[in-house]
Structures are given as structure tokens and as C-alpha cells.
Amino acid sequence: MEQLIAIIEKGQPFFNAIARNKYLKAIRDGFISVIPIIIFSSIFCLVASVPNIWGFYWPDDINNALWKCYNYSMGILAIACAATTAKHFADAQNRDLPKNNQINFISCMCAAIIGFLLLSSDTIATDAASGFNTTYLGSKGLLTAFIAAFVTGIIYKFFIKRNITVKMPEQVPPNISQTFKDIIPFSVCITVFWVFDIVFRAAFGFCFAQGVIQVFQPLFTAADGYIGLAVIYGAMSLFWFVGVHGPSIVEPAIAAALVANMTDNLAAFQAGQHASAVLTQGAQYFVVCMGGTGATLVLVFMFCFLAKSQEMRAVGKAAIVPVCFAVNEPLLFAAPIVLNPVFFVPFVFAPIANIWILKIFIDFLGMNGFMYTLPWTVPGPIGTIMGLGFQPLAFVMLALILVVDFVLYYPFFRAYDAQKCAEEAEISQEELAAKNAEKAAKLNDAFQGKADAKSVAAGAAAEAVKADAPVASAAPAAEATTASDLNGKRVLVLCQGGGTSGLLANALAKAAKERGIDLETAADAYGNHVDMLPDFDLVVLAPQAASYLADLQKDCERVGNKCVACRGKQYIELSQNGDKSLAFVSEQLSK
């Protein structure tokens, strides 16, 4: 097992390179930007549809009002995604351009929207009214939205990089000059989309968006099969197990299918048909990742209530609340589960077993698949029942999944528990009690209202996450750090998902406040940082995002601020020691 993990670990640089790919990152960040639309619209969908299960139907005027809000948000999801993906892709393209000759992302967003509409919608004209056909403006048009965004970004970069633009005299204000500078790339984009649309429709008789769906439908169908589901979610868990953020690699490839299948399920259900799609966002949030990646909900209860090892019980008690809300980094890194050979098999195969059970219930027992999306932090059992519309079979399936996960994890849990008990038997009870108390305290400190739940991810990630980025050296505890060194400074901490970064940001803020230092800190996810950079003096990358250092350096060079990446042990040490964290920031700012 250790040899297998070592082989997989050697591929970590390659996996990190995939995660950093600008096309995949643009899809991921663009899709994340429109998640509020999906969740918001699903609220109205739930209110409108769920009461039907018990025979209650809203009056027509109320029902129409509820669905209007759903259709006017979810119905234009692809339009919004074309814009957000174009924005993030333009940010990535700008890293390769001089800071005084950048792509105007707003113009790029507008061009992507128009290009997408040309490729995806037919004009409807009658004597009474005219408008757009909305068939492919929602989830069905997501793939075309990504294509429109990428084509737009590539065209803009071609013209801006070569200065093929309308140039105005120096006396013209910059905002006016920028408008004229965008004319040529904008016009070329729209012309390319317009001509392509005419040629494509003439050749095939339908719009490009419909053609894209037809081409990718076999892949969507294969992904919804047993082998496809196993590959997708086995890979996601495998990447996480070796310390690479799995969703960053896997989700961009299936993002369109997750939403489109959910929409198809809802349409089928409303038409009185079987909602048969398995690969949906709800299935990923609440069935595959029940208790976080690796389906660790049952495992944390084992740690908390069944472990004989005092250390495992301490970890379980500290991690049980966040894991219930799908934030399992405290368990993954504090136990640890990541890079722990004992848990390799259940961590990778429990999610596969869960999604297969869901598919069996849908294919053979006639249960409808997920039709509604809830926030990913909703506890897995609750999200499963609500996302499946309170179907009676959903309760049976949930119980079976919990039993199967228990059976898969229990033998490995017992083996690890015995291993830890043997280790604890070799040290005195006093030392053991002190060690466990310290570990539990460090984990609990992250949940005292100063950091969001996910910020515990850094808990012991240090021991497992190995980034390829250069390592910054922490300064020794600097009692001589003066307020004048840091007063008025601003520090931004970035991680993969916006949670782990809160650990260091909160530690810095607390230490600065206690010492009367005017230091402003903030935490966010990498990908949301581009527009924030001018407001900060130093940007710190947490261990999970350290592989993005090269890209971040390009971003920071454009605005003239500094950046640094931390590795695991160093990051945890800084998060737990106020003096060292302040000294570290002072040292980086002085370079």
C-alpha cells in the first residue's frame, strides 16, 4: 500500500499542473461565481414542487409567480456563466501581458454574452411579439457558454498583445481611450461568432448549442453509468488523498453535466416521467461527499464514540461538528486520513459505493434522482432527503448508505485505533493527556467564531499537503517587532476554497489587536483575488494553494505588491503563534 501511495504521490506535480490550467480554472471559477443563482432558484423550485408530494398544489397565480423567479434566474444560467468564465479567463490571459496593456475584462464579458446568444438562441418573431428562444440559455447551454468565453478571451489577447487597436491621442482621457481600444477585438469577436453561426446553421439546420449537446450527450450518458461514476468520484477522492485538491481537477470536466442533469430531472418529474439522471450536483454534495470528500460522516462518529485511543477521541470530538456540515478537513489532516495508508481503501471506495447505491435505487427501484440543489454545507442526510423531494425510498437509501459506509470504514478504523493505542501505551498518561488536550484545543480554537467552519482545513494539513512552490522561511519570534513596521499595512491570505485562509488571517488580526497594531487582514479563495490585490500590501498563500505561487507572482507584479507561499508545518505554526505570524509578515514586507 505504501508503494502504491508513493507512486501516486510522484504524480503530484502533474496533478497540480492540471489544477493550475487556465482553461480549467476559468471554468471552475466561472461556475462557482454562478452557484448563488443555482441555489437561489432551487429555493423557489422546492417551495413550488415539494408540497405536491402530499397532494397540495398552489393556486395558479402563486405557482406562476414562484416558477417565474426560477425561470428568470436558472433560465439564464448559461448567459451569466459565459460572462463570469470570460472574466476569469481574461484575468488569466492578463498574466501574460504587460501591466500597461491589459485586456478589459468588462468588454470581454459583454462580447462573450453576445457571442453566446448568437450561438445558442433563435429569434422568435410573431405578429404579437418577438424575442429569444430560451431553450439553451439555461443549464443546457453551459458548454457553449464556456466555448464562447474562451474564444472571446483568445481573440482579445491576440489583438491586445499585438496592439492592433484603435489608438487615440494622448490628450484623450484614459476611459475614452479604453473604449476605442476595445472596438477592434470586440468587433472581430462578434463578427466571428456571427459568421460561424450563419455557416453552422446553413450546414446543419440547428444552432451550435444544440450541436454541442448532441456531441457530448454520449459522454454524459457514459459518465452517468456505473463505470463513469466510479472513475469520476474515485479520482476526486484519490487526488485529495495525496494532498491535491480533487474538485479543482474533476469538477470543471463535469460541471455542465451536474447542472444539466438536475434540470432534466426536474423537467421529467414535472412531466410525470422518471427522473433518471444520477450525476447531479445534489448527488455529489450529499451522497458522494456525505460528511466531506471520502464520505467521512460515519468515520467521525467512530472516532468520537468508538475509539479506544485517547488521541482519536480528541480528534473526533473536535471534528464532529464541522464534519456534520461537510467540512472534514479537521478529520482529514488531524487524524490524519490524508496520506495514511490505513484509510486508503475506504476513503476512495466509500464515495463510489454511495453513488452506486443511489444509481441502483434510481435504475431498479424507480426512485427519482436529485431535482433540487441546496448549499453544500447542509448536513448530508438532510440534503439527501430534501434534494430527493422527501421520497419514501430516499429514507431507505440513506439508511443503507450509512450502513455500507460503516461496514467499509470499520475494519480500517479498528486497525488504526489499535495502532494508536499501542503508541499511546509507550508514553506516560500525563504526557498523553497533555498531547491530546493540546491537539483538541488547537482544533477547537478555529471554531470560536473568528473563522468559518472550513478554516479548520489547515488543522494538520501541514503534515500531509506537500506543495511544489518555493517555501518562505518564517522569522523567529520577534518580540522586537514594532507597531510602526506594520501599522497601516494590509495582508490577504488565500487558500483553495476560502476557509483555511481564515486561520492565519484571524491569528494575525487577533495578535495585531492585542498589541495595538493597525494591521488589516482578509481571507478569501484563490481565483477571487485579482480585483482585490490593489488593496493589499502582502498576499500569503496557504499550503493547499501554494502551487499557484507562479501565477500569483505575475498578478502581484502588475500592482506592485508582494506575495509568498507557506507549507504545512510553517503555516500551522504561524497560525498558532501571534508573535511569529507578525514577525513573518514584517519580514516579508521588508524584503
Contact in structure between 105 and 185 (CB atoms under 8 Å): no
Q: What is the pLDDT of residues 500-518, one digit of tens each?
A: 677 788 889 988 888 888 8
Q: How confident is the model at residue 499 (pLDDT cuts 50, 70, 90)?
A: low
Bridge-based pairing of strands 519-525 and 538-541 is unpaired
Instruction: Give me the pLDDT at residue 559, please.
Output: 85
Q: Which of 323-327, 402-406, 537-541 has the lowest mean pLDDT?
A: 323-327
Contact in structure between 331 and 300 (CB atoms under 8 Å): yes
What is the mean predicted confidence (pLDDT) over 4-28?
73
CA nearest 494: which of 506, 486, 505, 509? Answer: 505
Residue, of 586 and 432, whose pLDDT is higher = 586
- Specify the amino acid at residue 579: D
Is 563 considered catalytic here? Answer: no
Instruction: Give me the pLDDT at residue 416, please.
Output: 92
Instruction: Give me the pLDDT at residue 5, please.
Output: 59
Q: In sequence order, what DSSP letters do the residues of 74-143 get, joined into one string? A: GGGHHHHHHHHHHHHHHHHHHTTS-TTS---HHHHHHHHHHHHHHHH--EEE-SS-EEE--TTTSGGGHH
Of 110, 324, 495, 566, catalytic? 495
Burial class (CB in 10 A: 0-12, 13-18, 19+), 532: middle
Q: What is the pLDDT of residues 177-215, one digit of tens each?
A: 778 889 999 999 999 999 999 999 999 999 999 999 899
Contact in structure between 111 and 156 (CB atoms under 8 Å): yes
Q: How confident is the model at residue 432 (pLDDT cuts 50, 70, 90)?
A: low
Cα–Cα–Cα angle for 34, 36, 41, nearest 5°? Answer: 105
Domain chopping of the chain, boundaries? 73-215, 221-426, 489-590
CA nearest 456: which of 549, 354, 335? Answer: 335
Instruction: Give me the pLDDT at residue 238, please.
Output: 87
pLDDT > 90: percent of the chain: 37
CA nearest 237: which of 296, 281, 286, 294? Answer: 294
Q: In sequence order, what DSSP letters do the residues of 547-574 get, joined into one string? A: GGHHHHHHHHHHHT-EEEE--HHHHHHH
Q: What is the DSSP letter of 243?
A: T
Backbone angles phi, psi at 463, to 5 degrees: -75, -20
What is the mean predicted confidence (pLDDT) over 237-247?
77
- Specify the amino acid at residue 201: R
Instruction: Give me the pLDDT at residue 433, please.
Output: 65
Cell numbers at residue 564, please? 509568498
Cell numbers at residue 254, please? 463535469
- Specify the amino acid at residue 499: G
Which helix (H) or strand (E) segment is 522 a member of?
strand 519-525
Instruction: Give me the pLDDT at residue 226, please.
Output: 93
Cell numbers at residue 247, please? 474538485
Q: In sequence order, what DSSP letters do the residues of 7-58 get, joined into one string? A: HHHHTHHHHHHHHH-HHHHHHHHHHHHTHHHHHHHHHHHHHHHGGGGGT---
The residues, ordered by sequence, that sit 6+ positions from 483 with a Cβ below 8 Å of its Cβ are 515, 516, 517, 518
Q: Using omega within 30 degrees of 0 as the cis cutoff, is the peptide bond preceding 36 cis?
A: no
Considering 20-34, 316-330, 404-418, the range whose residues carry the highest mean pLDDT is 404-418
Q: Report the C-alpha gap between 146 and 279 in whole angstroms.
A: 20
